[in-house]
Amino acid sequence: MSTSDDQTKEVTETSSPAEEESSEENASGGFIILFFILGLIASLIVGWIIFPKLLYSKKNQPIDFNHVVHMELVEEGCESCHFFRDDGTYAGVPKLTQCIECHEEVQGESESEAIFVA
């Protein structure tokens, strides 16, 4: 072989900078895919396991409240306690001052009513 053939082999055997850059790009692409999959799995776990437990958790109320009894006694229906604010948002739970308007005196024989008024 001639010296020019030897030099050609040496050049072809060493990797070019373009090949090194493409291998680095492939490695960073693998990390992106890995983090995407991990994020997807974490989101699914939160969405299917943790969020429903928080959403459907049952909290103990300090006073027994019966909507049926209140609907029979109140003329305005739901709007007497639950209303929309001026900006259109919904005020879910009424404030205690709204309850006191009707419950200044004990109106029933239940223990909860006596505790509430006291």
pLDDT tens, per residue, the chain with 118 residues: 555 555 555 555 555 555 555 666 677 888 999 999 999 999 999 999 999 988 887 777 777 778 888 888 887 778 778 878 888 788 777 788 878 877 777 777 777 777 777 6
State the pLDDT at residue 21.
Answer: 58
Single pTM value for the model: 0.39
State the pLDDT at residue 13.
Answer: 54
State the pLDDT at residue 4.
Answer: 57
State the pLDDT at residue 3.
Answer: 59
Query: What is the rounded CA–CA span in Å between residue 23 and residue 61?
Result: 61
Query: What is the rounded CA–CA span in Å between residue 88 and residue 62?
Result: 29
State the pLDDT at residue 14.
Answer: 53
State the pLDDT at residue 9.
Answer: 55
State the pLDDT at residue 110.
Answer: 75
The phi and psi torsions of 88 (rounded to 5 degrees) equal 95, -5
